[in-house]
Amino acid sequence: MTDVIIKATKIKRRAKLFMFINKNLTKIPTEKTAVISDLFPIKKGNDWHTEFELLNVSGLIMGDNNESKPYVVNFYFFSSTGNLLGSRSVTVENIGRKTIKLSELMTGEIKEAATFSVFHPPIYDKTDMAGSFLAERGYCGYEYQNLGVKGYVHGNLDAVALVRGEVQPLGNSGLIPRFYTVQHCLRGPAKYEFVFTNPTSGKMKITPNISLNMTNWLAKESFIMNSLGSHTFTVDIKENEKAYVRFKSKLYLGRPVVFRISNDSMDVFHG
């Protein structure tokens, strides 16, 4: 009986290797002129400020910020349903880093944006990219209730590409759902917000599961995101309580950005 179980386990593992291993998390753009970005979450409301640390990527790659001429970077803004709301241009001078306050860019139709992407101009004509693409996966800063202290988190993955002015999703998904377990024990009193984005070209269903002991899991109501859309799943943990959470989806990397809010403090990190 034991041999049968071992054999079945080996077959299952080999099947998973065949289906999941050697599968790219993201697609490769079809044109070498493409530039890549993540989909970065925006925290809105009177209690929040969102910033982005914009680097002089061209100067860093070329090895001298002073020799890098000012150039324009485009911020693209998306609604929670995945619609492109508009774009804003920011000039990067010959300095290493420039802090961008998102509230100053989010005017007019962009006020309702839930995520954004950052596209630098391509530099393949300046240096040999060796088949690589210029990508922005930098750091977002979030401040809560004007505390004067920010939490930072970097990009998750290469989510979208800009090809000839068109935004193209780069995320991959599989045929069979898998679980992504958040590598953090939820402890109260706190409110946890799990922010997901959908970098794929189709709709994506995600089912949260919560457990008190990592053994018995309770499935919560599923939610569906459009292509390039986003969604926030919230969990309230009471004082002296703890819990664990995992998410079932067909995403190759169903890893959320996590906000932990407790009293007058906050933290932000990858799940």
CATH of the domain at 181: 2.60.290
**pLDDT for the residue 59:** 72
More confident position, 119 or 1? 119
pLDDT category at 109 given cuts 50, 70, 90 is: very high
Looking at the fold, whether 57 and 180 belong to one and the same domain comes out as no
Residue 126 lies in a domain: yes
Q: Which of 61-75, 85-99, 106-120, 181-195 has the lowest mean pLDDT?
A: 61-75
pLDDT greater than 80 at residue 64? no
Looking at the fold, whether 139 and 45 belong to one and the same domain comes out as yes
User: What is the chain's mean pLDDT, rounded?
Assistant: 88
Residue 51 lies in a domain: yes
Residue 22 lies in a domain: no
pLDDT category at 20 given cuts 50, 70, 90 is: low
CA nearest to 125, candidates 67, 61, 169: 61
**pLDDT for the residue 19:** 54
pLDDT category at 245 given cuts 50, 70, 90 is: very high
How far is it, in rounded angstroms, from Cα 117 to Cα 74?
8
Looking at the fold, whether 181 and 249 belong to one and the same domain comes out as yes
Q: Averaged over 165-192, what is the pLDDT?
A: 93
Looking at the fold, whether 186 and 150 belong to one and the same domain comes out as no
Looking at the fold, whether 122 and 199 belong to one and the same domain comes out as no
pLDDT category at 57 given cuts 50, 70, 90 is: confident
Looking at the fold, whether 152 and 46 belong to one and the same domain comes out as yes
Which residues are CB-neighbours of 268 under 8 A, at least 6 positions away?
Answer: 142, 151, 152, 153, 257, 258, 259, 260
Q: What is the phi/psi pair of residue 51, to 5°? A: -130, 160
pLDDT greater than 80 at residue 206? yes
Boundary residue ending a domain (116, 143, 169):
169
Could you give the C-alpha distances from 269 to 40, 84, 192, 261, in angstroms and in order?
13, 26, 11, 12
Residue 75 lies in a domain: yes
Residue 149 lies in a domain: yes
Looking at the fold, whether 149 and 179 belong to one and the same domain comes out as no
Residue 65 lies in a domain: yes
Residue 8 lies in a domain: no
Residue 119 lies in a domain: yes
Looking at the fold, whether 162 and 193 belong to one and the same domain comes out as no
- Number of other CB atoms surrounding residue 44 within 10 Å: 16
Pairing of strands 217-219, 40-41: unpaired
Looking at the fold, whether 162 and 61 belong to one and the same domain comes out as yes
Looking at the fold, whether 152 and 72 belong to one and the same domain comes out as yes
pLDDT greater than 60 at residue 255? yes
For 107, the domain range is 35-169
Looking at the fold, whether 113 and 205 belong to one and the same domain comes out as no
Boundary residue ending a domain (169, 201, 227):
169
**pLDDT for the residue 55:** 87
- Number of other CB atoms surrounding residue 263 within 10 Å: 7
Tell me, what amino acid is at 11?
I
Boundary residue ending a domain (150, 169, 188):
169
Stated length of the chain? 271
Looking at the fold, whether 54 and 154 belong to one and the same domain comes out as yes
Using alpha carbons only, what angle is made at residue 173 by residues 40 and 162, rounded to the nearest 5 degrees? 45
**pLDDT for the residue 162:** 95
pLDDT greater than 70 at residue 12? no
**pLDDT for the residue 26:** 81
Core vs surface per residue 46-80: b (16+ CB within 10 A) or e: eebbbbbebbbbbbeeeeebeebeebebbbbbbbb
pLDDT greater than 90 at residue 168? yes
Total tally of structural domains belonging to the chain = 2
